[in-house]
Structure 1
Amino acid sequence: MSLFSFSEISIITIMIALSSVIGIALGAVKYKGVGLGIGGVLFGGIFMGWLAQKMGWIPEFSKDSFDVLAAGGVDVVKTAESVNKVQCFKHILHYVQEFGLILFVYTIGIQVGPGFFASLRGSGVKLIGYAIAIVFLGASIALSFNVFFGLNLDSTVGIYAGAVTNTPALGAGQAMIGDLVNGLNEQGLAVPEGFDVKNVASAYAVAYPFGICGILLTMLLIRFFFSVNINAEGEKYELQKKSNRKDLHTQNVSVNNSDLFGLKISEISVLQKGKVGCSRLKRGNILMVPKSDTVVYAGDILHLIGEKDEDLNDACSFIGETVQVSLTTKGTDLSVRKVVVTNEKILGKTLDALEIKSKFDVAVSRLIRTGMEFIPHSGTVLHFGDQLNIVGRKESIDAVANVVGDSAVAMQKVHMMPVFVGLVLGMFLGCLAIPVPGLPAALKLGLAGGPLVVAILLSRFGHVITMGKMHWFMPASGNSALREIGIVLFLAIVGFNSGANGFVDTLVGGDGLKWMGYGVFVTFIPIFICGILAYKFSKINYLSVCGAMAGSMTDPPALAFANGMYKNSEASSLGYATVYPFTMFLRILTPQLMIVIAYALMSK
């Protein structure tokens, strides 16, 4: 009797786990700060697939069937029962692979969604424009290999996805080719050569390594050709950042306008427009928190807050005279503290409805949401994760904290219902079929595009749609865990399938080296041309350009390399985040467009 008795589920789990362990260890190996990163899992899967085939753990791993792994290399008897097991094994692997991809793109959307629409303003528009150019130029180069050099369509799509190191593009390309094959079979038409889904993964794996290295090489070449001074670029960015900063400003003003004596704070016209607020009032030696019905007198000093200096200056000129007096809470019975909105019962309610000022005798001087701060007003609606800057007595602030939640535990908790609501909506959007005349399969956002778009929209507008009853905030630790699990599952299975289907033979004795050469062009030409144009002609900061180039390739190792150039990584990180959502969406869409164009030309 054998010591172990493995079921199909246990075999699948062991293979995925071993592929992941080997791949993660491989990705952690770096040379001068450069490594494969999470892409190492793909090669761990390739190795395990190759080893399983060579060791006889997979007696027959053909392109038409995925036979059950038989312990000890015993052949599988082709009976109805074994065929059912084969199909079960195949479908389980396929489901886990696709579910991993869904998790990955969904969590990306949740992460970048809150800042996505803000990136459409200012200098970010230029970076997004160049990123779009990089995407379509790379897709055009890849498609030309199919049109002019006769490269098979499956290899073309795989080379494109690997050369730009974009896993969702691989998933979208595989899904589209699979749909085309199914559509042709349903119509009783012959499937043309070059529609093998597994070749897509093999070409992807071959083109992937230079995709990682090519972006780093481009950064270094641009820096060398134009003698870029990294420190000077960093200092230039800091100066530009200060000039464009839109943080809240403060001024202290003495009430000298006799027309205001005896008026309530709510009756002062310049404080009614929502552009300027008053968070503290000092009368003699007494510092207090003003309410809407607090009466002002001559000599009162008001601590004003505004988004723009001109608004503050206008308010100060109207109220009286600016004074250089400290209104610090130190040494008084007042305190300043940030509390976080985590109580789900108050989500969607306004500050006025909660009566925070009147009940607790505190002032909400500013509100910070998704990294941006502004002056709240009575009609401000509260969202999960909002940070309220509270001024008042300690016991009053504690009471406000109890009302709004201020729970560190809640901020670290992943709320699962919004996750699955988002996945359901993402599936519906991804499966929305757009018929294309002359094409056997409809154009779809697919399992990669649908969840991404829905996650971006829900993370920004979900609380409005549900009237504050549900939120899509996800803590960074939870988001990172789900995202990493998703991409590891997807890459491990893609690599395993590829390795077991002769990837090594293709690389050594087949078209692997030719595919690798094609991939170099797809990687290098678009980012080199657009990088030069962005830096030299559009005068965009070099560090921002490097971050945007990394984002246009959705390449975290390249971002890490760019972040290491200067002591402050904000410029490159912001450039990456600005272009990332657009790029990810287009990387998912372009393989499908390439397939549509190639099939249309093939059908003529």
Structure 2
Amino acid sequence: MEWLNSIFMEHSALQAVVVLSLISAIGLFLGKIRIFGISLGITFVFFTGILMGHFGITIDPYMLSFAEDFGLIIFVYALGLQVGPGFFSSFSRGGMQLNLLAIAVVLVGTLFAVLGSFITEISLPDMVGLLCGATTNTPALGAAQTTLKQMGLDATGPALGCAVTYPLGVVGVIFAIIFIRKFIAKKQDMVVDNSDDSDNTYIGAFQVHNPAIYGRKIKDLGRLTQSKFVISRLWRDGIVSIPTSDKVIAENDRLLVVCTEADVAKLTILFGTHEPEDWNKKDVDWNAIDNQLTSKDVVITRPEINGKKLETLRLRNQYGVNISRIFRSDVRLLATPDLTLQLGDRVTIVGESSAIEQVTKVLGNTVKQLNEPNLVAVFIGIVLGLALGAIPIVLPGISAPVRLGLAGGPIVVGILIGAFGPKMHMITYTTPSANLMLRGLGLTLYLACLGLDSGEHFFETVFRPEGALWIAIGFLLTIVPVLIVGIVTLKTMKIDFGSMAGMLCGSMANPMALNYVNDTIEGKHSSVAYATVYPLSMFLRVIISQVLLMLLL
């Protein structure tokens, strides 16, 4: 049995891989268990590591440190790539209001944590750990630990605090949302207003009866209104065509227009008459509405197209086709001339079959190419992120410079590359499954190492008198900010309950709570709100955890 002992107990690279893999496998299996519809998911890896650490299983300290840091780096960088494309656009329209509310949740929780540290005998590093667990934010914990190590201080306390408060952090948000829904929300709060849903396109048919636009070219119509729209088809005298920008509009022309639903009224005034027929049903056979034209969905897979604006391709003039809609990450976008195309975009092309086939070759449509991950961009991004994280930032009132560290640097670079990489013709596309694999692998590795490192002292921490205090404070740090901001939002603002709940889940980085909300509330507003506030909230918590320690220690 020596070989078995060497695999599990004797420190070596083989033993480290075996132990961490075993912890991850057991934790992920347990994470599938649901109690009252709630599961801790991947968090069970953390607690499996704690249990093994408690029973004396260890791995080489250097290997533990490397695996923990590398897992955290992969996770936060892939997270940045995921949220990057929508990070800056999330500040437009209602997104700004939702992000301000999410910032309020973050700041209220931080304020309570600081006050709790002064009122109780809990040290600030331990309180930061409690806050990270209460907000289920492991990247913030990683940033705090990195800061403490840079200051030459012990980083074990925050990990223990996070482990103690994490379970109630998951369910606390759910409890708060249930309370708000039962005792605070009114019937009108549950009604969703879809009139300003900027994430969806709307297809409408209009007839030209406005004398002001008779004889005008299509390219001139855009100057008459601030609304953005794309004319997909034009019927005149029973003949259908793809209108170019130089096409002259005539009386009684029938137009099929792609726009947003909020702009329908304005476009009705512009064109004259809006036809009542519903063109947005899922069962519309676009290839049967006329005999001359057909439509096809094509995926952009040619690297040369990445980062180019739609107007530069001149598809209408050269091939006589029209791109009416663009799908990006399951979001429908208007195919406006100034839209920057990205690898992986799925475009809807309307035109004659022969012309569509030519355009298909121009755009690529070789889906197999997208399945090959661009690892060069991943590793270059990690290097840039670590370089950014190592840059000292001098802040007023802080004696030592602040660094973004292993968590902050990669997530910032990931967001920037995800947002602006295509505009600089960088190929940053990864399939959703590939990104999910990177994030899952990184987070699993980080949690396994973190739990193994914390396990030795976990139970003695929980079962000492201070342990109960830690649990109580952690629960308050979870539920109080959510209740305060949630109640104020419903009482003073015109935000539906679904969007409010999604905002709260995103500000607390709690996907398990979002799953509960999606299961109990119809529509996708909660998911949209979650995605809107999640990037900024995650970034703020990573930075705040470091700044608190640098300022107050």
TM-score, normalised via structure 1 length: 0.81
Match of 2:543 in 1: 589
How many residue pairs were aligned? 536
The answer on whether the counterparts of 2:185 and 2:497 sit within 8 Å (CA) in structure 1 is no
Distance 1:222 1:356 in 2: 52
Structure 2 matches for 1:419-458, cutoff 5 A?
A: 419-436=378-395, 441-458=400-417
Unaligned runs of 5+ in 2: 280-284
Q: % of aligned pairs identical?
A: 33
Distance verdict in 2 for CA 1:92–1:356, change over 3 Å: same
Shift of 1:305: 4.5
Residue 221 of structure 2 corresponds to residue 270 of structure 1: yes
Distance 1:556 1:259 in 2: 50
Structure 2 matches for 1:449-468, cutoff 5 A?
A: 449-464=408-423, 466=424, 468=425
Q: Please give the secondary structure, in 1, of the residue aligned with 2:351.
A: strand
Distance 2:120 2:250 in 1: 84
Shift of 1:228: 4.8
Distance 1:299 1:149 in 2: 76
Residues 568-598 of structure 1: per-residue CA shift (max 9 Å, x gap) = 3x12212211221111011112222221232
Distance 1:484 1:389 in 2: 32
Match of 1:407 in 2: 366
Shift of 1:360: 2.6
Structure 2 matches for 1:310-329, cutoff 5 A?
A: 312-317=267-272, 329=287
Structure 2 matches for 1:474-493, cutoff 5 A?
A: 474-493=430-449
Match of 2:116 in 1: 145
Structure 2 matches for 1:194-343, cutoff 5 A?
A: 195-226=153-184, 228=186, 233-234=189-190, 236-237=191-192, 240-244=193-197, 247-253=201-207, 269-270=220-221, 275-291=228-244, 301-306=254-259, 308-309=263-264, 312-317=267-272, 329-330=287-288, 332-343=291-302
Residues 546-565 of structure 1: per-residue CA shift (max 9 Å, x gap) = 21211111011111111111
Distance 1:551 1:397 in 2: 41
The answer on whether the counterparts of 1:278 and 1:303 sit within 8 Å (CA) in structure 2 is yes
Structure 2 matches for 1:24-39, cutoff 5 A?
A: 24-39=28-43
Distance verdict in 2 for CA 1:35–1:363, change over 3 Å: closer
Distance verdict in 2 for CA 1:311–1:417, change over 3 Å: farther
The answer on whether the counterparts of 1:154 and 1:196 sit within 8 Å (CA) in structure 2 is no
Match of 1:383 in 2: 342
Match of 2:470 in 1: 515
Residues 226-275 of structure 1: per-residue CA shift (max 9 Å, x gap) = 2655xx654x11xx1135557345334358979967x9x56x73267795
Shift of 1:401: 1.1
Distance 1:357 1:256 in 2: 26
Structure 2 matches for 1:343-362, cutoff 5 A?
A: 343-351=302-310, 353-362=312-321
Distance verdict in 2 for CA 1:37–1:147, change over 3 Å: same
Distance 2:474 2:157 in 1: 15
Residue 1 of structure 2 corresponds to residue 42 of structure 1: no
Q: What letter matches 2:471 in structure 1?
A: M
Shift of 1:344: 0.6
Distance verdict in 2 for CA 1:3–1:539, change over 3 Å: same
Match of 1:84 in 2: none
Distance 1:129 1:292 in 2: 41
Distance verdict in 2 for CA 1:228–1:42, change over 3 Å: farther
Distance 1:502 1:537 in 2: 46
Distance 1:586 1:303 in 2: 44
The answer on whether the counterparts of 1:270 and 1:276 sit within 8 Å (CA) in structure 2 is no
Q: What letter matches 1:336 in structure 2?
A: S
The answer on whether the counterparts of 1:15 and 1:48 sit within 8 Å (CA) in structure 2 is no
The answer on whether the counterparts of 1:255 and 1:302 sit within 8 Å (CA) in structure 2 is no
The answer on whether the counterparts of 2:140 and 2:541 sit within 8 Å (CA) in structure 1 is yes
Shift of 1:93: 1.4
Q: What letter matches 1:107 in structure 2?
A: A
Distance 1:390 1:233 in 2: 40
Shift of 1:175: 0.9
Unaligned runs of 5+ in 1: 59-68, 70-88, 182-194, 600-604
The answer on whether the counterparts of 1:136 and 1:590 sit within 8 Å (CA) in structure 2 is no
Shift of 1:481: 0.7
Match of 2:375 in 1: 416
Distance 1:505 1:168 in 2: 25
Match of 2:106 in 1: 135
Q: What letter matches 1:279 in structure 2?
A: S
- CA RMSD after TM alignment: 3.1
Distance verdict in 2 for CA 1:403–1:139, change over 3 Å: same
Q: What letter matches 1:156 in structure 2?
A: M
Distance 1:98 1:298 in 2: 67
Q: What letter matches 1:376 in structure 2?
A: T
Distance 1:548 1:322 in 2: 36
Match of 2:282 in 1: none
Q: What letter matches 1:31 in structure 2?
A: I
Residue 350 of structure 2 corresponds to residue 373 of structure 1: no
Residues 191-221 of structure 1: per-residue CA shift (max 9 Å, x gap) = xxxx421122112111111111211111122
The answer on whether the counterparts of 1:412 and 1:477 sit within 8 Å (CA) in structure 2 is no
Select between 506-515 and 306-315 the one with higher mean Cα deviation: 306-315
Shift of 1:480: 0.7
Residue 472 of structure 2 corresponds to residue 472 of structure 1: no
The answer on whether the counterparts of 1:252 and 1:322 sit within 8 Å (CA) in structure 2 is yes
Match of 2:488 in 1: 533
Distance 1:213 1:3 in 2: 43
Distance verdict in 2 for CA 1:109–1:253, change over 3 Å: same
Shift of 1:283: 4.2
The answer on whether the counterparts of 2:286 and 2:295 sit within 8 Å (CA) in structure 1 is no
Distance 2:265 2:441 in 1: 50
TM-score, normalised via structure 2 length: 0.88
Select between 405-414 and 208-217 the one with higher mean Cα deviation: 405-414
Residues 487-530 of structure 1: per-residue CA shift (max 9 Å, x gap) = 1000000000111x321222224632232122122222211211
Q: Which has the larger radius of gyration?
A: 1
Match of 1:187 in 2: none
The answer on whether the counterparts of 1:249 and 1:309 sit within 8 Å (CA) in structure 2 is no
Q: What letter matches 2:87 in structure 1?
A: F
Q: What letter matches 1:374 in structure 2?
A: L
Match of 2:451 in 1: 495
The answer on whether the counterparts of 1:289 and 1:392 sit within 8 Å (CA) in structure 2 is yes
Select between 268-277 and 509-518 the one with higher mean Cα deviation: 268-277
Distance 2:213 2:172 in 1: 69
